[in-house]
Amino acid sequence: MYEDKTLICKECGNEFVFTAGEQEFYAEKGFVNEPQRCKACRDARKSAARPEREMFTAICANCGKEAKIPFKPREDRPVYCSECFAAMKGDK
């Protein structure tokens, strides 16, 4: 029913393929317009709208290694590195 189409990205000017599967998905969702940007430009546009997440440094309460965390650590709560956190989460 659908056939792959080659479209031109309005952002970078490169050609990209609007596959038959993507066309079917667009039709199922009721979208009437074809995509105007290639996948790379769509992804770049989405990530540009999102602010960069601030990361904080803390010391793991279990193993003592330095850990990067997406929240400001508090003195009254322990912080764990990803390995220790995953190990503790798996125990429950």
pLDDT in tens, 27-85: 999 999 999 999 999 999 988 877 878 899 999 999 999 999 999 998 899 999 999 99
Domain extent at residue 18: 5-49
Same domain, 43 and 71: no
* In a shared domain, residues 61 and 76: yes
Distance of CA 3 to the CA centre of its chain: 29
Contact status, residue 78 vs residue 58, Cβ threshold 8 Å: no
Token digits of residue 91? 């125990």
How far is the C-alpha of 9 from the C-alpha of 6, rounded, in Å?
A: 10
Q: Is the per-residue pLDDT at 92 higher than 80?
A: no
Dist. CA 1–CA 23, nearest whole Å: 10
Counted domains in the chain = 2
pLDDT at res. 90:
78
Q: Which residues pair with 66 in a beta bridge?
A: 59
